[in-house]
């Protein structure tokens, strides 16, 4: 068996681990249960792929979406890993089960509802597992921003395999969500590895919406490179794409209402281009590996501060300077509040309100945006970052009071 640095180099083509990857891999290789909270783009896949090669047996990877699984399998294939999935979209399931049984797979991707079925648990009990990775692990928690009840069913499968190291991975989990993941998945507290959330190359800007089309046009005129504009609806995403295309910038649309081949074509065009803008709903983004996205603009507020972090996190994965623009209106918050009160299950309302309030705090702060964002994720950042709108150009609140006082005293003097 080759050493870890050798695998890192020959299989993945990297000379160094990045950030906490090494800590995570070391723990998994030592057979210990782990929760890794690492920002988008930090390299979570390697944290289970590398141990999957280094340890005996096949790795089971729990993932919530077929599209995510297939993306992962494509990139695993590309580096020579033996990976397959068991989903309704896979015609060769029987063959995959055979490969899995006979030890011919490094990685088996599966959705939680299938992984927890009786038949699958019996299969597992006869198979040698290297590890169980639980991707997008925030889905297990009601406090998380994307709760999926099927994740709750994983516990018996994990209980069947107490000695197989489990690795839960997520990009976004506040303190309460983290505690919940640990409890739900039976991971000890000392198993938590928390990577920094800061994305120092992203510059945050927040502006009240005021003639969005003109605002976007101005923004894009001074903004080379490719980018994403998140729109609050399918309709808006189409209108934005038309507008941009009309002003000469290559632009495509992406939302769940488009036919699959059109979505695939638009996504591929965006990924390959160095100047294209994709106007999209939140259906766009997960599992897309485009390191040179230069900006992410929001035409309205995102669902939560977690969603905002995740969506803007798609900019600048190559580490080069990138911009995040948020255009908001008071009506966005009003609408979001009434959605929570009318459409969200009562037990989940307090958490959702809290998350929306955190987003409001981010939007309204006269101070450092990054500090608000990082504090939300439990970090203790410096007061100023030097790379957000408020740090670069402090709002004139103090000056405004000063002006008001001068005006008042001027008025007072004339009365005298």
Residue whose CB is less far from Mg ion, 44 or 205: 44
Q: How far is the CB of 42 from ligand ADP (least distance, A)?
A: 4
Q: How far is the CB of 60 from ligand ADP (least distance, A)?
A: 17
Residue whose CB is less far from ligand ADP, 42 or 173: 42
Q: What is the DSSP string of 349-375?
A: HHHHHHHHHHHHHHHH-SS-HHHHHHH
For Mg ion, how many residues bind (rule: CB under 5 A)?
A: 1
Residue 321 burial class via C-beta count within 10 angstroms: exposed 0-12, middle 13-18, buried 19 and up: middle
Which token pair is 55? 């340890």
What is d(CA 110, CA 300) in angstroms, rounded to the nearest whole number?
Answer: 34
The order of strands in the sheet holding 166-170 is 83-86, 107-110, 58-62, 129-134, 166-170, 34-37, 192-194
Residue whose CB is less far from ligand ADP, 44 or 263: 44
Residue whose CB is less far from ligand ADP, 136 or 332: 136
Q: How many residues does the chain have?
A: 416
What is d(CA 185, CA 373) in angstroms, rounded to the nearest whole number?
Answer: 27
Which token pair is 297? 């603009």
Residue whose CB is less far from ligand ADP, 38 or 132: 38
Torsion 208-210-212-216 (CA) sign: negative
Letters for 23-52 (x = contact with ligand ADP by CB under 6 A, - = none) are: ---------------x-xxxxxxx------
Which token pair is 229? 């504009």
Angle of CA points 24, 114, 109, to nearest 5°: 40
- The option from ligand ADP, Mg ion, none interacting with 173 (CB < 5 to 8 A, set by class) reads none
Strand, helix or coil for residue 203: strand
DSSP state for residue 143 in the 8-state scheme: T
Q: Which stretch binds ligand ADP (CB under 6 A): 15-23, 336-344, 352-360, 375-383?
A: 15-23
What is d(CA 203, CA 369) in angstroms, rounded to the nearest whole number?
Answer: 9
Q: What is the dihedral of CA 174, 254, 63, 291, to 10 degrees?
A: -70
Q: How far is the CB of 135 from Mg ion (least distance, A)?
A: 6
- The option from Mg ion, ligand ADP, none interacting with 18 (CB < 5 to 8 A, set by class) reads ligand ADP
Residue whose CB is less far from Mg ion, 73 or 372: 73
Q: How far is the CB of 40 from Mg ion (least distance, A)?
A: 7
Q: Counting contacts by CB under 6 A, is residue 18 touching ligand ADP?
A: yes
Q: Counting contacts by CB under 6 A, is residue 333 touching ligand ADP?
A: no
Letters for 276-295 (x = contact with ligand ADP by CB under 6 A, - = none) are: -------------x------
For ligand ADP, how many residues bind (rule: CB under 6 A)?
A: 14
- The option from Mg ion, ligand ADP, none interacting with 181 (CB < 5 to 8 A, set by class) reads none
Residue whose CB is less far from ligand ADP, 272 or 289: 289
Q: Which stretch binds ligand ADP (CB under 6 A): 11-19, 236-244, 254-262, 267-275?
A: 11-19
Q: Counting contacts by CB under 5 A, is residue 55 touching Mg ion?
A: no
Q: Could you tell me if 47 and 167 are in contact, meaning their C-beta atoms sit under 8 angstroms apart?
A: yes
What is d(CA 255, CA 244) in angstroms, rounded to the nearest whole number?
Answer: 17
What is d(CA 138, CA 172) in angstroms, rounded to the nearest whole number?
Answer: 7
Q: Which stretch binds ligand ADP (CB under 6 A): 17-25, 179-187, 226-234, 388-396?
A: 17-25
Nearest residue to ligand ADP, by Cβ distance, number only:
43
Which token pair is 356? 């929306």
Residue whose CB is less far from Mg ion, 129 or 134: 134
Letters for 8-47 (x = contact with Mg ion by CB under 5 A, - = none) are: ------------------------------------x---
Which token pair is 253? 């649309």
Binding region for ligand ADP (CB under 6 A): 14, 16-18, 21, 38, 40-46, 289
Q: In the complex, which residues of this chain contact Mg ion (CB under 5 A)?
A: 44
């Amino acid at each position: 068996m080759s050493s870890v640095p050798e695998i890192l180099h020959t299989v993945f083509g990297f000379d160094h681990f990045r950030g906490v990857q090494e800590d995570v891999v070391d723990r998994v290789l030592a057979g210990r249960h782990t929760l890794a909270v690492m920002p988008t783009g930090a390299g979570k896949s390697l944290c289970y792929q590398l141990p999957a090669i280094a340890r005996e047996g096949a790795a089971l990877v729990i993932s919530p979406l077929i599209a995510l699984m297939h993306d992962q399998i494509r990139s695993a294939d590309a580096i020579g890993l033996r990976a397959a999935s068991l989903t309704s979209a896979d015609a060769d399931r029987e063959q995959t089960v055979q490969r899995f049984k006979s030890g011919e797979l490094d990685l088996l991707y599966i959705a939680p509802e299938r992984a927890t079925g009786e038949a699958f648990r019996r299969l597992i009990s006869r198979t040698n597992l290297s590890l169980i990775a639980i991707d997008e692990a925030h889905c297990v928690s009601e406090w998380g921003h994307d709760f999926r009840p099927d994740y709750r069913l994983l516990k018996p499968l994990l209980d069947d395999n107490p000695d197989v190291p489990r690795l839960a991975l997520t990009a976004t989990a506040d303190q309460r969500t983290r505690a919940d993941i640990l409890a739900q998945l039976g991971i000890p507290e000392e198993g938590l590895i928390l990577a920094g959330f800061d994305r120092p190359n992203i510059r945050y800007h927040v502006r009240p919406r005021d003639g969005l089309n003109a605002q976007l046009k101005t923004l894009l005129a001074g903004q080379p490179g490719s980018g994403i504009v998140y729109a609050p609806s399918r309709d808006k995403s189409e209108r934005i794409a038309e507008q941009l295309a009309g002003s000469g910038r290559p632009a495509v649309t992406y939302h769940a209402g488009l036919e699959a081949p059109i979505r695939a074509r638009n996504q591929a065009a965006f990924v390959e281009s160095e100047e294209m803008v994709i106007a999209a709903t939140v259906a766009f983004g997960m599992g897309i590996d485009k390191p040179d996205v230069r900006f992410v603009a929001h035409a309205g507020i995102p669902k939560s501060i977690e969603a905002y972090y995740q969506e803007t996190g798609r900019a600048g994965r190559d580490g080069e300077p990138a911009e995040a623009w948020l255009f908001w209106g008071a009506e966005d918050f009003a609408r979001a509040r009434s959605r929570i009160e009318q459409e969200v299950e009562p037990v989940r309302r307090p958490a959702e309100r809290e998350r929306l309030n955190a987003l409001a705090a981010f939007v309204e702060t006269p101070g450092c945006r990054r500090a608000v964002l990082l504090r939300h994720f439990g970090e203790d950042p410096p007061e100023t970052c030097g790379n957000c709108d408020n740090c670069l150009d402090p709002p004139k609140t103090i000056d405004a009071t000063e002006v008001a006082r001068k005006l008042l005293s001027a008025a007072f003097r004339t009365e005298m």
